[in-house]
Structure 1
Amino acid sequence: MIRSVRYGIRQLLLFGWLEALSCLFPVLIFISLAVLKSANVPHMYDLMLVICLLIQWAMVRTGLETRDEVKVICLFHLIGLALEIYKVNMGSWSYPEEAWTKVWGVPLYSGFMYASVASYLCQAWRRLHVELTRWPSPWFTVPLGAGIYLNFMTHHYIWDLRWVLTALLFVLFFRTAVLFTVGRQTYRMPLVLSFFLIGFFIWLAENIATFLGAWQYPNQRESWQLVSFGKMSSWFLLVIVSFLIVAQLKRVKQSENKPDGRMVPAAVPEE
């Protein structure tokens, strides 16, 4: 009994350590925001861009991130920046601080907020040796991911289809599970549950980020308020888009390393 408890504690601590390493990029971003906010530094957004670039360089230089992961992060930076420009100009949120590195009202560092999600997914995938079972065909996953991303933009003009897309998500991934390894032990979790957990923790991070002035929602202009729970559904869907892109890139990468060109839902060795 005592031995099993000790083993469980060791596994939990090891899992926490691997997760902490995987979260290093977003954690460093939040620490930087906290320091700049508390010091009331002018042009905070410009300094954040420099800091994010230095963090990215240091992580690659030290081997904490691989070249393949940097490619994925750059892709997410562009996807996130495009979404930010659209949503800010639709009045969904704003960046009130002055900055030289703003494009259509959006500071360039904001793309790193999305890139940090990709960084976490890539690093957790590698460190936990993630594998997927019963992964649906890309003929279904790619249109679903595209539909979720486009709904963030089209809901300003037509019906918000997030709940329809969420229902399709449950149907498509009902049997899909994620396998991850901690030490020598492999664990299994329903994929949809992992989406919810990641989305919840990103919602918590969003509250910290808005408190530190990373961006601002309309109801936070007078004073900071807790980000509504409704935003959690948005992060839930955004995590799905992020996961679908990373998973598909992993599968393509693995097919290139397979002599027969088959794509199987398993982790891919990084460069």
Structure 2
Amino acid sequence: MPRARPFTALEQRIDDWAHRRTQALAAGAGPWRARVLELVVFTLKQAWACVFGASMLALLVIAKLAYPDDLLLARSDALVLAALTLQILMLAFRLETAREMGTILLFHVVGTAMEVFKTHVGSWQYEPDGLLRIGAVPLYTGFMYAAVGSYMVRVMRLFDLTFTRYPPRWVTALVAAAIYANFFTHHFLPDARWVLLAAVALLYGRCVMSFRNHRSGRVRRMPVLAAFAGTAFLLWVAENIGTAAGAWVYPSQQAGWEMVPLTKMVAWLLLMMISVVLVTLVHRPTDGNVDEVRSAWPGRSERVSLENSSTLRGESATQRMIPVRHFGYGLDSHHHVVDAATGNSGAGRHNGSARRG
């Protein structure tokens, strides 16, 4: 079936390369090489999704190590201009769509507003140089939040994510609003982060995301909470790099750099809930009731759930799929469909497990 979120030109080239290599490997090699290829494609796509965030981290490190202290243009102002240039390049090369850019701008606003408050109450601080700032907050900080948004909107497109049992969006929005409010109110009222963390676990606990690394690979499934935890860990790693580069410091790092406490991962995970809600404004979660998809090699089988009526258009809910040998790859896979009520059979082209990406 067509992708819900089309690739950019470079993303399409990566997918085409993986598809060609998969066909070649399937013709004359064991499945282990296909698994290695799938891992390579997964890594390439993740790196591509992180391109804005990785570039921002590189700018922070370069500014720390190589930017002269005696230049007229302050280091923080240079970072603002460099980050703005990077964002313009992302749009110019169509690595982000205009609609995605609108959501990323919301990340700027939400993140900068919180930064102004947090620096005011002394949660962390930045170098007091430069003119491009709001209060004690240099404007490049908004781009750091935008980097999180950029990753999330791009990973939705690159892996064409679908979700099973995704919670109602209005409920996720209420929880995200409560989380955002708690980032401010816990300085004056009891901290509700653990209650909110429990709410997140309850809300997303049954949700599973499905993704395909490339069109000839199998559909992979992962609990959404596991994906959230993994991303929160990577953000914690990035935060350690940022603080080591002197982009900002916590009170505990005033006398010298030390690792950011692991407990900060909780704050990042909660902040991600706000990010997730913002991303769903541009990439609405789609229901993917893929039950089981086996690797698309000759002799392997696939099985798809009929819970979603769009899986087989025109077939009744009583019909089931009998796995047979593949006669092709990707969108060319065929199955026999047997009506469970009548026993009549017919050829059917499955769509639900033929998602490219």
The answer on whether the counterparts of 1:72 and 1:246 sit within 8 Å (CA) in structure 2 is yes
Q: Please say if 1:173 is aligned against 2:204.
A: yes
Instruction: Show the counterpart of 1:129.
Output: 160
SS in 1 for 2:30: helix
5 Å-filtered alignment, 1:78-89, equals: 78-89=109-120
Q: Are the equivalent residues in 2 in contact too, given 1:76–1:111 (CA < 8 A)?
A: yes
User: In the alignment, which residue of structure 1 is the partner of 2:300?
Assistant: none
How many Å separate the matches in 2 of 1:155 and 1:68?
Answer: 34
> 5, 19, 23: which one pairs with 2:46?
19
Q: What are the Cα deviations for residues 152-191 of structure 1, in whole angstroms up to 9, with x where unaligned?
A: 1110011111110111111111211111121123211111
Shift of 1:136: 1.3
How many Å separate the matches in 1 of 2:285 and 2:226? 25
8 Å contact 2:153–2:283 — kept in the other structure?
no
- Alpha-carbon distance in structure 2 between the residues aligned to 1:248 and 1:133: 18
Contact preservation (8 Å) 2:228, 2:269: yes
Residue identity opposite 1:231 in structure 2: K
The partner residue of 1:225 within 246, 255, 258 is 258
1:92 aligned to which of 116, 123, 127:
123
Cα distance in 2 for partners of 1:30, 1:139 equals 34
Q: Percent identity?
A: 36
Instruction: Indicate the residue corresponding to 1:190 in structure 2.
Output: 223
Paired residues, number: 254
CA distance in 2, matches of 1:26, 1:146: 25
Aligned partners of 1:32, 1:41: CA distance in 2, in Å? 14
1:207-256: CA deviation from partner (whole Å, max 9, x where unpaired): 00000111111111111110011111100111121012212442299xxx
Report deviation, 1:7: 1.1
Does residue 240 in structure 1 map to residue 273 in structure 2?
yes
* Unaligned ranges ≥5, structure 1: 254-263, 265-271
- Where does the alignment leave 5 or more consecutive residues of structure 2 unmatched? 1-28, 287-309, 311-357
CA distance 1:72–1:10, change in 2 (3 Å): same
CA contact (8 A) 1:149 1:238 kept: yes
What amino acid sits opposite 1:37 in the alignment?
K
Distance of 1:139 and 1:125 partners within structure 2: 20
2:180 alignment partner in structure 1 = 149
Q: Which amino acid aligns with 1:23?
A: C
- How much has 1:32 moved relative to structure 2? 1.1
What is the alpha-carbon distance in structure 1 between the residues aligned to residue 104 and residue 188 of structure 2? Answer: 30
Q: CA deviation at 1:29?
A: 0.8
CA distance in 2, matches of 1:109, 1:158: 30
Q: Report if aligned partners of 2:163, 2:285 keep a CA contact under 8 Å in 1.
A: no
1:102-132 superposed Cα distances (whole Å, 9 cap, x missing partner): 2110001101110000000001111110112
User: Is the 1:134–1:175 Cα contact (8 Å) retained in structure 2?
Assistant: yes
From 63, 76, 99, the equivalent of 1:36 is 63
CA contact (8 A) 1:93 1:218 kept: yes
Instruction: Check whether the contact 2:164–2:209 (CA below 8 A) recurs between aligned residues.
Output: yes
Asked if the contact 1:178/1:190 (under 8 Å) is kept, the reply is yes
Is 1:210 paired with 2:243? yes
Q: 1:19 offset after TM fit, Å? A: 0.5
Do the aligned residues in 1 keep the contact of 2:162 with 2:285 (CA within 8 Å)? no
Offset at residue 61 of structure 1 (A) = 0.7
1:102 counterpart residue number: 133
Larger Rg computed on CA atoms: 2
CA drift at 1:66: 1.2
**Relative to structure 2, which stretch is displaced further, 235-244 or 197-206?**
235-244
Higher relative CO (Cα under 8 Å, sequence separation at least 6) belongs to 1
CA contact (8 A) 2:156 2:283 kept: no
Aligned to 1:214, the other structure's residue is in SS state: coil
For 1:28, give the aligned amino acid. Answer: S
Structure 1 residues 36 and 239: CA distance shift in structure 2, 3 A: same
Q: Secondary structure at the match of 2:188?
A: coil
RMSD after superposition: 1.8
2:98 alignment counterpart:
67
Q: Secondary structure at the match of 1:152?
A: helix
Question: Over residues 6-57 of structure 1, what are the superposed CA-to-partner deviations in whole Å (9 max), with x where a residue is unaligned?
Answer: 1111101100000101100011111111111112434211011101110011
